[in-house]
Structure 1
Amino acid sequence: MHTTRFLRVPGVGIAVAGLLISGCTNGGSPEEPHSEASATSTSAGAPAPPLKPLPAKVPDGLRPYYGQKLDWRGCGPAGFECATLRVPLDYEHPRSGSEHEVRLAVTRTKPGGSGAKPGGSGRKRAGSLHVNPGGPGGSAVEYVQQSAGVAYPAEVRERFSLVGMDPRGVGRSEPVECLSDKQMDAYTRVDQTPDDEGETVELSAAYGKFGQGCQKRSGKLLGHASTMEAARDMDVLRAVLGDKKLNYVGASYGTYLGATYAGLFPQRAGRLVLDGAMDPSLSSLRVNREQTAGFEAAFKAFARDCVSHSDCPLGDGTVREAGAQLSAFFERVDRKPLDTGSPRRSLTESQATTGVIRAMYDEGSWPVLREALTAAKKGNGEQLLALSDDYYERGPDGSYSNTMYANPAVNCLDLPPAFTGPDEVKKALPSFEKASPVFGRGFAWAAMNCADWPQDPTGSPHRIAAEGADPVVVVGTTRDPATPYRWARGLAGQLSTGRLVTYEGDGHTAYLRGSRCVDEAINGYLLRGQAPQNGTTCR
């Protein structure tokens, strides 16, 4: 289980997110007072410095990239076209030549020209609407072609050309690679709740081997896969598409990417919607610990629902008893992995935990989890393994997407590691276990994955004000497991033009997930520029 990851938004496989947290020890609720520390400080109360905007004038060394012409061609489902965007590997030292550049995959719905589509509303096109589903590691190309191009409201699709660009190192944009499929299978089985020194050494070695594999297979790109660089790539694409401002919808990690864009280019930030928001002012330690609390809150919501059913595999008592039963189940699987019907694959404790975590992203998965846990308690781990495979994006043929490789490649550059070694994890275990008696121990050890990363971090916690930007709509779900609600409050509080929309509910992200109130608020902004009132609450 990777903790520095947010799963994808429902629509392409599972929901992609990433992994950041906000400065408290629970998921938060709209009634709780907002803590200024969550919006302005890193760890131990140290102030997070502001992100400084880049100069509005494009540097001479970047003009060839901003002035390039894209060669669009039909691709994917009908109505889509694709192109390749060139960007510098290193924005601080741009150099010509393929070895000094990155080629990024871009897709869009075919523009309808300056007029409306036949039979449409008669509104003129408003340019491009960029979409990112999260991660880090989620493919925006895949998401736009398979989900957003159909799921987004017809009025939005008519008004904008939907655009998806795989960030550098992701999907079809020179993807980061780390392990063979066989090695990845072994990696997903490594015990992430070590019981002794031998298991601790084994876990540390697994993280080290993972990072070394990324360095060997990905080369120079591994040092240039940060969110800052991806945000600069988006500005190049904006200019190449001929848009004066960037209109954007980002989910989960996509909110971090979108907020970073607004901070670097506030004068070019248009209608930005950040759904399932992350707080950039937080340290990696706080992010991991507070996301741990977010998953505990989500599990409690699941447990309350589960014990109300006669077939709940965690009993029919209290939420606390359900948590104790789940913890006991994990311990049994740790001692003896479960049969899955496959002679080559049993279910380990790490995979069982990952399967449960997967189901926390979407309340629609709760019945599936009940069935999977019922079968597992009878000795059959097949369904839990399927959930774990879904999280890791393992295909039926045993192949993995690059999501789990791109994820640490971005996260380990964006922030200094939460822990530098096992001793620090052991000291932090009580605080993680307090945040989540069920998941805390595993999340703490999973947060050690950047300790021996082969590239030094290039980023650090910071506040984003984006002075001068158009209104930025920030959406937070009160029981979101991956991006706790306080993150949305923290980000909205930093942004000079932030407008917070609260959805009181379960699951990861809120837009296009069944809330008419949320959808109307966001669609109203995208279509008419009417930003919702700050503090809007949807139930």
Structure 2
Amino acid sequence: MRRTTVLGSAGALVAGTLIAGALAAPAAGAQTRHHDRGGPEARGVALAAQRAERAGIDWQDCPPDWGLTAPIQCGWVTVPLDYAKPDGRKIKLAVDRHVSTGTQGERQGALLYNPGGPGGSGMRFPTRVTTKNPLWTKTAKAYDFVGFDPRGVGRSTPISCADPQEFVKAPKADPVPDDEADKRAQRKLAREYAEGCAERSGWMLPHMTTPDTARDLDVIRAALGEKKLNFLGVSYGTYLGAVYATLFPAHVRRLVVDSVVDPSQDSIWYRANLGQNVAFQTRWEDWKAWVARHDSVYGIGDTPRKVEKAWRELRAAAKREPIGGLVGPAELTGFFQNAPYYDSAWASTAKTWSAYRAGDTQALVDAAAPDPDDRAGNAAAENGNAVYTAVECADATWPTDWRTWDRDHTRLHRDHPFITWSNAWMNLPCATWPAKQRTPVEVRSGKGLPPVLIVQAERDAATPYEGAAELQRRFKGSRLITEKDAGSHGVTGLVNPCVNERVDTYLLTGKTGRRDVTCSPHATPKP
């Protein structure tokens, strides 16, 4: 779950995180019955799935501008906008696939993927086969790799909340407020952003929930001709998978969740973002210690304290005069939070900073500033941010009293300053959200749910470890693979045989092992 101005999708407001991610809502018990006990949505998704199974998917070569070449194929799945009204308005979801590379006897069906967000596109997933990624060779023999754009994302009836070129305009205001006037300005931006969502995409906003996307997953499953779903979800994709497994437990065949969102109802989504602020600070400290150990390479500081001092000086200088006219504190935060997310970015982030200190201003501008000429990229960033906001705001009720936000984030900022205020402003549109907000699904095991495989790094910044432990408590018979003393987000994409072999075994055989496993960390980054 993540976003930033440069990565993922930073806000119209400031750089923030995506994990990540008010009006009256029904009580939790009523909402659970509404989802699971034969309510109108349950009947609607069953009808939509029947229709999709009959229609199938008309697989064709992908359109040239999608950047997906043969043998990857593309198609569409039609779903109801509102599952309570399955004969009402329809929307189309973009899907793609690479067929399994093994024999017919080796094939086990389709494996669907969601990379996170909310707002992330899974359409690149089949390229893991075409690029011959060795981590996925065995799995690709058994499964068609199927990607999709969730509703509202990319080519699946995309939503928008702002003009893309205005959205990426830099520099943005410093996310850390100096005074009450700064807070009032950010509150105004957040309110205007929420209003922009209503103006540009209001018809979609009530139907941008995680349960809606989970229902879409079941319709895609049926359109693929699959009786049961095989699913790999990363980051927010773990919550999507958990909600799917709650709504459709008997439809799950294999479920891998990697870097897990805490599915507790009282965590989705306000508290989840508060927890991120603490976890990001922890991983920021890890990175500073690594930079200090390699001071002979980077020359930033030979202790974490000196690295922190250099960071604050850089931030202050960018606030006085944006670097290259484009990179202020918000853009710096957006770029530097690469490092807490992924230790694969530790060296490149330090290298860019070191080059700037040596006089190469352009290196930092190229890395941290938006490109006004990249219209497609800017549109994708704006769309990703819009979906993030729409889903998190619709999934749950949020505090509407500014005093709650101010108290919680002021307190957290004292000891965890790296992204606390950035995260606050990114999510603040939810306080004045113009569409109905729901009660989150009570995630739990249901009849027919098979063992689930949970994978988690111990020091993950975006989805703290407690989320994996909580999901394991809720899914009886699940197994947890912990990558100890590691913190990269998205463990299944890393080279760590202890993890890779167990993920392969589960996807190929369904076996999780008799007990949880703790793996040593993957290789430490080198300068």
TM-score of the aligned structures, taking structure 2 as reference length = 0.84
Q: Distance in 1 between matches of 2:196 and 2:315?
A: 30
Which residue pairs with 2:18 in the alignment?
Answer: 18
Which residue pairs with 2:177 in the alignment?
Answer: 194
Which residue pairs with 1:471 in the alignment?
Answer: 451
Matches within 5 A, 1:258-269: 258-269=241-252
Match of 2:60 among 50, 68, 73: 73
Q: Distance in 2 between matches of 1:437 and 1:155?
A: 43
Shift of 1:307: 0.4
Q: Distance in 2 between matches of 1:107 and 1:200?
A: 44
Instruction: Report the aligned-residue RMSD.
Output: 3.2
Which residue pairs with 1:409 in the alignment?
Answer: 390
Match of 2:76 among 84, 91, 113: 84
Match of 1:501, SS? strand
Which residue pairs with 1:12 in the alignment?
Answer: none
Shift of 1:491: 1.1
Q: Distance in 2 between matches of 1:459 and 1:3?
A: 24
Match of 1:506 among 484, 487, 490: 487
Q: Distance in 2 between matches of 1:148 and 1:414?
A: 36
Q: 1:169 to 1:423 in 2, by over 3 A?
A: same
Q: 1:49 to 1:527 in 2, by over 3 A?
A: farther
Q: Distance in 1 between matches of 2:331 and 2:121?
A: 24
Q: Could you list the per-position Cα deviations for residues 48-71 of structure 1 after superposition, in whole angstroms to 9, with x for gaps in the alignment?
A: 999566358855753434533321
Match of 1:179 among 162, 165, 168: 162
Q: Distance in 2 between matches of 1:491 and 1:299?
A: 26
Does the CA contact (< 8 Å) of 1:290 and 1:484 recur in 2?
yes
Unpaired runs of 5+ residues, structure 2, are 9-15, 22-26, 63-67, 521-527
Q: Distance in 1 between matches of 2:129 and 2:285?
A: 30
Q: Percent identity?
A: 30
Matched, 1:433 2:418: no
Matched, 1:485 2:470: no
Question: What is the identity, as a one-letter code, of the residue corresponding to 2:395?
Answer: D
Which residue pairs with 1:231 in the alignment?
Answer: 214
Residues 486-495 or 329-338, more deviating:
329-338
Does the CA contact (< 8 Å) of 1:200 and 1:422 recur in 2?
no
Does the CA contact (< 8 Å) of 1:275 and 1:476 recur in 2?
yes
Which residue pairs with 2:87 in the alignment?
Answer: 95
Unpaired runs of 5+ residues, structure 1, are 9-15, 22-45, 340-344
Q: 1:512 to 1:197 in 2, by over 3 A?
A: closer
Matched, 1:279 2:269: no
Does the CA contact (< 8 Å) of 1:412 and 1:457 recur in 2?
yes
Matches within 5 A, 1:205-224: 205-224=188-207
Q: Distance in 1 between matches of 2:312 and 2:31?
A: 41
Match of 1:87, SS? strand
Q: Distance in 1 between matches of 2:177 and 2:188?
A: 13
Shift of 1:334: 2.1
Does the CA contact (< 8 Å) of 2:2 and 2:17 recur in 1?
no
Matches within 5 A, 1:153-164: 153-164=136-147
Matched, 1:363 2:343: yes
Match of 1:400 among 376, 379, 387: 379
Match of 2:87, SS? coil
Does the CA contact (< 8 Å) of 2:2 and 2:18 recur in 1?
no
Does the CA contact (< 8 Å) of 1:473 and 1:532 recur in 2?
no
Q: Distance in 2 between matches of 1:176 and 1:472?
A: 32
Shift of 1:397: 7.3
Match of 1:484, SS? coil
Match of 2:169, SS? helix
Does the CA contact (< 8 Å) of 1:278 and 1:487 recur in 2?
yes
Question: What is the identity, as a one-letter code, of the residue corresponding to 1:88?
Answer: P
Matched, 1:293 2:278: yes
Shift of 1:358: 2.2
Match of 2:321 among 328, 336, 342: 336
Which residue pairs with 1:315 in the alignment?
Answer: 301
Which residue pairs with 1:537 in the alignment?
Answer: 518
Does the CA contact (< 8 Å) of 2:5 and 2:168 recur in 1?
no
Match of 2:111 among 117, 122, 129: 129
Q: 1:381 to 1:49 in 2, by over 3 A?
A: farther
Q: 1:361 to 1:331 in 2, by over 3 A?
A: same
Q: Distance in 1 between matches of 2:450 and 2:200?
A: 41
Match of 2:124, SS? helix
The count of residues paired between Structure 1 and Structure 2 equals: 490
Does the CA contact (< 8 Å) of 1:107 and 1:141 recur in 2?
yes
Q: Distance in 2 between matches of 1:388 and 1:469?
A: 44
Which residue pairs with 2:333 in the alignment?
Answer: 353
Question: What is the identity, as a one-letter code, of the residue corresponding to 2:111?
Answer: L
Shift of 1:336: 2.5
Q: Could you list the per-position Cα deviations for residues 297-332 of structure 1 after superposition, in whole angstroms to 9, with x for gaps in the alignment?
A: 111111111001124454112x34433442343233
Match of 1:271, SS? strand
Q: Could you list the per-position Cα deviations for residues 8-66 of structure 1 after superposition, in whole angstroms to 9, with x for gaps in the alignment?
A: 7xxxxxxx983249xxxxxxxxxxxxxxxxxxxxxxxx999995663588557534345
Q: Distance in 1 between matches of 2:444 and 2:130?
A: 28
Matches within 5 A, 1:521-532: 521-532=502-513
Shift of 1:161: 0.7
TM-score of the aligned structures, taking structure 1 as reference length = 0.82
Matches within 5 A, 1:235-254: 235-254=218-237
Q: 1:81 to 1:294 in 2, by over 3 A?
A: same
Shift of 1:377: 4.6
Q: Distance in 1 between matches of 2:222 and 2:2?
A: 35
Does the CA contact (< 8 Å) of 1:502 and 1:537 recur in 2?
yes
Question: What is the identity, as a one-letter code, of the residue corresponding to 1:64?
Answer: R
Q: Which has the higher helix share?
A: 2
Match of 2:507, SS? helix
Shift of 1:7: 6.9
Which residue pairs with 1:30 in the alignment?
Answer: none
Match of 2:99 among 106, 110, 113: 110
Match of 1:511, SS? helix
